[in-house]
């Protein structure tokens, strides 16, 4: 395409409707909004400035070479500096209670915290005993877990509304470890009459040791992560992953409690598919169901569901929720004790609950190696649940939760709890909602709830020895309602984000089939893969200009976006780095229609052919010269020989020209007569695939004589030869946030390879941090100057058109933009 045609096409793209109102031209670099009436829907702005490349931008914006960040030495010196204000700040950051407790307002917070603490304490009692069964421990250890960690979190925690203590998901994770390392088969002893029985006391004592060792180790992991400021690790657990995992865990909890509802004793399974095996075994044992326990379970379940629905319906009218769980526990204990249900119908009850507190004991360090992986999984899942709830309430009530301090607080709660025979804790959604909805303002509510639990453990715990385990199981079932409602995420995610739906489903299925530990590992790995694939397979597009604006949009998405003749603008939707750099280059060639490999091969073949032809002509010229000398030497007529020599000399160029035409080789490129656009250079991007045919034809791509080009191709190749008119490519890298060595090499190869076929490459929209990384990597050089890097795509386009205009025409491009 001729340059005049390029000019005409671009001018047509930039034409806009003329306006009757007078436009005020502003000074260079200034901008303002045009006046408008209230009824006007359009708004205009006018900008007039020079085209800015990276070098000019540094001058205009006065880029600084100084650094506001302190050096490593200064930071070390500052961290080692000791002063009273610094000591106070450190203490307040590590022990937050010292910051807010001295300023505690009794008038504003005391009543709310008292009511909230009593409500949560009443919930702690049944939930603590019920969730202890999930951990395969005796109920009293659930009460211990509801006491000590809550007091530790009161001192070190930063959230004001979450309720620390037992939680179903963490409890079932602990239970899977205790049952795996201390199965019933390891504690079988010979009973009377040659029967084999399980030594429950020895088994339960060993399981407590396992749970304490795992809890202590999980706390150490959390403290270490918090000290090294690694709180961001939870960001790799996306919300769909956490919700899918907790839903799968709820299914594990549900299946583990079915044995108490039906009064059967299925075999214990561990490892992958253990849930399926347990469910099949339960179905096999259904004919052996104990009807009295099933009746107790159904009655308790019905009462709990009805009253909890009433609490939900009248939540705004009731001063506090009806403590139906505590009421059911008290009623079931009284009925079982005075009716003798455990003796008459062999209903399984809680059993002995020792009164008083036990002395602290160090965890068994010999068990650490066996629970190392499980401890890390518990630490991560517990923190993820805790910080998600903490940030939710903090956002609602307008305060900040420190993610790293939350790690330390939760870790200290678990570490200290490991010495007092507690198992791992996290925040509970149901208790946290009650603590917040009943007026709780600070963690003083947690201290009050701990006092209630302490009174229960010291004085009235033994009164619950006749409590049926089936009632505790129904409490667990009812509290799983919120987790099972997360199944509604599936239709919602189907409509909004199918990748997140896939993460949810894979997490749920892997948790169900592979158990809790392997399921968590698989789900995290799959979630990370989705992120990698989305950055490795971004959306690539060719941009076009919206006429009358400086907007450049995807030509496949916007009809009005038109490509600029001779200029290809290419953009990727993600950062260019080692996983997608190769694909970036491939798609660039595909989208631009320029195959560098074939063009370079064609150029090499053409140059080699020209070289062979020149050598052949040199040999022929030497041969002719020798003939002429021989003729002069043996000729007696010197004049005739001279004339003949001159005639031969004139014939050589003619034969040479005819020879080149016959072989399809470009020997001469004439200068452009009109404007000198091409002076003895061939743009190799215009060349077709070099598939040679047997036919000989003399064709040119242009009707004028600006370039003498003789081809040796078929008719199809002729069309391809005339097809390409690209002379410049702009790479929009505004979406790139960093570059690595692979991406730098890829960009260098693009400049080099496309430059070898006479294509100009430009970069646009590069962020300042990326420019610094390119400079550090040695990207810029004499062949790739900074003048090839422009602030915006529009700047690059105007530069290219101006560059063409210097040789061919002066193009007046309006910078006025209509919005």
In the 3-class helix/strand/coil scheme, how is 589-618 assigned residue by residue? HHHHCCCHHHHHHHHHHHHHHHHHHHHHHH
pLDDT of 813 over the 80 cut:
no
Q: What is the mean pLDDT of residues 487-492?
A: 94
Q: Is the pLDDT reported for residue 721 higher than 90? A: no
DSSP assignment of 64-78, as one string?
A: -----SPPHHHHHHH
Using DSSP, state whether 368 is helix, strand or coil.
Answer: helix
In this prediction, residue 617 carries a pLDDT of: 86
Structure tokens at 273: 């598919």
Local confidence band at 30 (pLDDT 50, 70, 90 cut-offs) = very low
Is 357 a residue whose pLDDT tops 50?
A: yes
Three-state SS for 33?
A: strand
Compute the distance between CA of residue 463 and CA of residue 139 in angstroms, rounded to an integer: 13
User: Which pLDDT score is estimated for 193?
Assistant: 66
Once rounded to an integer, what is the mean pLDDT over residues 506-526? 90
Say whether pLDDT at 722 is over 50: no
Q: Is the pLDDT of residue 781 over 50?
A: yes
The mean pLDDT of 431-435, rounded to a whole number, is: 87
Confidence grade of residue 51 (pLDDT, cut at 50, 70, 90): confident
> Helix (H, G, I), strand (E, B), or coil: what is residue 638?
helix
Asked whether residue 671 carries a pLDDT value surpassing 50, the answer given is no
User: Whole-angstrom Cα distance, residue 527 to residue 510?
Assistant: 12
Tokens of 308: 């909890």
Decide: 378 and 169 in contact? Cβ < 8 Å.
Answer: no
pLDDT grade, residue 637 (50/70/90)?
A: low
Q: What's the distance, CA 456 to chain centroid? A: 47
Which of the residue ranges 442-446, 461-465, 540-544 would you say has the lowest mean pLDDT? Answer: 461-465
- Mean predicted confidence (pLDDT) in 770-787: 91
pLDDT of res. 239: 87
Q: Write the burial class of residue 619 (CB in 10 Å: 0-12 exposed, 13-18 middle, 19+ buried).
A: exposed
pLDDT for the residue 715: 38
426-427 and 164-165 strand pairing: antiparallel
Q: Which structure tokens are listed for 549? A: 């604006």
In whole angstroms, give the CA distance from residue 685 to residue 705: 20
Name the percent of the chain lying above pLDDT 70: 81
Beta carbons within 10 angstroms of residue 233's beta carbon:
14
Cα–Cα distance measured from residue 511 to residue 253, given in angstroms and rounded to the nearest whole number:
12
Output the six-digit token pair for 247.
């839903």
* pLDDT interval class at 42 (50, 70, 90): low
DSSP string, 467-493: -BHHHHHHHHHHHTHHHHGGGGHHHHH
* pLDDT score, position 645: 56
Mean pLDDT of 553-575: 92
Tell me if 165 sits within 8 A of 150, measured CB to CB.
Answer: yes
- Predicted local distance difference test score (pLDDT) of residue 23: 41
Q: Which two tokens stand for residue 109?
A: 């917070």
Q: 781: exposed, middle or buried (C-beta count within 10 Å: 0-12, 13-18, 19+)?
A: exposed
- Top-confidence residue, 605 or 166: 166
> Who has greater pLDDT, 183 or 235?
183
Average pLDDT for 447-474 = 90
Mean pLDDT, range 274-278, rounded to an integer: 91
Residue 546: pLDDT over 80: yes
Choose the most confident range, by mean pLDDT, from 24-33, 395-404, 723-732: 395-404
- Is pLDDT at 55 greater than 80 in this prediction? yes
3-class SS shares of the chain: helix, strand, coil, % to 5: 60, 5, 30
- At residue 667 the predicted structure's pLDDT band, cuts being 50, 70 and 90, is very low
Please report the pLDDT score of residue 646 as a whole number.
Answer: 56
Q: How many CB atoms are closer than 10 A to CB 166?
A: 29
Decide: 297 and 470 in contact? Cβ < 8 Å: yes
Question: What average pLDDT does the structure give for the chain?
Answer: 80
Distance separating alpha carbons of residues 792 and 482, to the nearest angstrom:
50
Can you tell me whether residue 297 is helix, strand or coil?
helix
Distance between CA atoms of 751 and 226, rounded to whole angstroms?
46
Q: How far apart are CA 210 and CA 365, in angstroms?
A: 10
pLDDT over 50 at 710, yes or no:
no
The pTM score is: 0.72
- Crossing angle of helices 372-397 and 168-181, rounded to 10°: 170
pLDDT (mean) for 691-711: 36
Q: Which of 216-225, 534-543, 585-594, 810-819 has the lowest mean pLDDT?
A: 810-819
- pLDDT of residue 229 exceeding 60, the answer is yes
Which secondary-structure segment (H or E) carries 763? strand 760-764
Over residues 294-313, the mean pLDDT reads 92
Q: Per the structure block, which two tokens stand in for 774? A: 């390119």
């Amino acid at each position: 395409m001729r340059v005049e045609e390029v000019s005409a096409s671009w001018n047509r793209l930039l034409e806009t409707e003329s306006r009757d109102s007078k436009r005020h031209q502003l000074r260079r670099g200034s901008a303002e909004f045009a006046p408008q009436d209230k009824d006007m829907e359009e708004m205009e702005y006018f900008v007039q400035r020079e085209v800015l490349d990276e070098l000019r931008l540094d001058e205009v914006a006065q880029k600084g070479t100084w650094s506001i960040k302190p050096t490593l030495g200064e930071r070390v010196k500052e961290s080692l500096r000791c002063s009273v204000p610094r000591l106070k700040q450190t203490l307040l950051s590590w022990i937050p209670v010292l910051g807010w407790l001295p300023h505690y307002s009794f008038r504003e917070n005391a009543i709310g915290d008292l009511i909230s603490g009593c409500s949560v304490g009443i919930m702690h009692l049944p939930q603590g005993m019920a969730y202890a069964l999930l951990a395969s421990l005796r109920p009293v250890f659930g009460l211990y877990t509801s006491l000590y960690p809550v007091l530790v979190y009161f001192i070190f925690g930063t959230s004001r509304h979450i309720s620390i203590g037992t939680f179903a998901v963490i409890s079932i994770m602990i239970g899977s470890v205790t049952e795996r390392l201390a199965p019933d088969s390891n504690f079988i002893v010979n009973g009377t009459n040659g029967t084999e029985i399980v030594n429950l006391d020895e088994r339960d004592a060993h399981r407590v040791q396992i749970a304490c060792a795992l809890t202590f180790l999980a706390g150490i992991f959390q403290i270490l992560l918090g000290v090294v400021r690694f709180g961001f690790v939870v960001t790799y657990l996306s919300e769909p992953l956490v919700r899918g995992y907790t839903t799968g865990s709820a299914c594990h909890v549900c299946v583990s409690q079915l044995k108490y509802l039906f009064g059967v004793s299925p075999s214990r399974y561990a490892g992958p598919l253990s849930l399926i095996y347990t469910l099949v075994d339960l179905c096999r044992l259904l004919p052996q169901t104990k009807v009295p326990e099933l009746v107790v379970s159904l009655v308790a379940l019905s009462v709990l569901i009805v009253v909890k629905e009433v609490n939900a319906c009248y939540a705004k009218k009731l001063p506090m929720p009806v403590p139906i769980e505590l009421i059911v526990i008290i009623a079931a204990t009284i009925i079982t004790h005075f009716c003798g249900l455990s003796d008459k119908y062999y209903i399984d009850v809680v059993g002995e609950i020792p009164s008083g507190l036990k002395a602290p004991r160090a965890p068994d360090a010999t068990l650490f190696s066996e629970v190392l992986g499980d401890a890390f999984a518990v630490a991560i899942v517990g923190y993820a649940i805790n910080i998600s709830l903490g940030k939710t309430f903090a956002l609602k009530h307008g305060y900040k939760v420190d993610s790293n301090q939350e790690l330390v607080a939760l870790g200290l709660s678990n570490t200290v709890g490991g010495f007092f025979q507690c198992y791992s804790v996290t925040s509970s959604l149901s208790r946290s909602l009650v603590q917040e909805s009943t007026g709780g303002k600070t963690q003083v509510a947690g201290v009050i709830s701990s006092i209630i639990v302490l009174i229960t453990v010291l004085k009235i715990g033994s009164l619950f020895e006749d409590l049926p385990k089936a009632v505790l199981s129904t409490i667990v079932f009812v509290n799983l309602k919120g987790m099972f409602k997360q199944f509604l995420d599936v239709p919602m995610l189907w409509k909004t984000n199918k990748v997140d739906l896939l993460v949810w489903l894979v997490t749920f299925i892997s948790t169900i089939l592979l158990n809790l530990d392997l399921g968590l590992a698989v789900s995290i790995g799959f979630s990370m893969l989705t992120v990698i694939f989305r950055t490795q397979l971004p959306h690539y597009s060719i941009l076009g200009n919206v006429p009358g604006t400086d907007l450049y949009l995807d030509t496949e998405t916007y009809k009005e976006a038109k490509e600029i003749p001779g200029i290809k603008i290419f953009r990727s939707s993600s950062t260019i780095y080692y996983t997608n750099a190769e694909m970036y280059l491939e798609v660039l060639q595909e989208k631009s229609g320029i195959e560098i490999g074939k063009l370079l091969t064609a150029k090499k073949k053409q140059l080699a052919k020209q070289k062979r032809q020149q050598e052949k002509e040199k040999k022929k010229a030497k041969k002719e010269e020798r003939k002429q000398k021989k003729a002069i030497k043996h000729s007696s007529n010197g004049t005739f020989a001279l004339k003949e020599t001159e005639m031969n000399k004139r014939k050589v160029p003619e034969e040479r020209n005819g020879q080149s035409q016959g072989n399809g080789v470009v020997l001469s490129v004439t200068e452009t007569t009109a404007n000198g656009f091409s002076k003895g250079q061939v743009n190799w991007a215009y060349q077709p695939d070099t598939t040679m045919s047997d036919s000989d034809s003399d064709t040119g791509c242009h009707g004028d004589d600006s370039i003498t080009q003789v081809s040796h191709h078929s008719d199809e190749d002729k069309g391809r030869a005339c097809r390409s008119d690209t002379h410049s490519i702009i790479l929009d890298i505004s979406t790139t946030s960093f570059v690595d060595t692979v991406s730098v090499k890829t960009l260098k190869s693009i400049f080099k390879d496309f430059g070898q076929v006479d294509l100009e490459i430009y970069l646009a929209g590069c962020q300042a941090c990326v420019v610094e990384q390119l400079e550090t990597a040695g990207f810029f050089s004499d062949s790739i100057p900074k003048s090839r890097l422009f602030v915006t795509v529009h700047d690059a386009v105007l530069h290219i058109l101006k560059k063409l205009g210097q040789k061919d025409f002066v193009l007046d491009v309006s910078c006025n933009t209509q919005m």
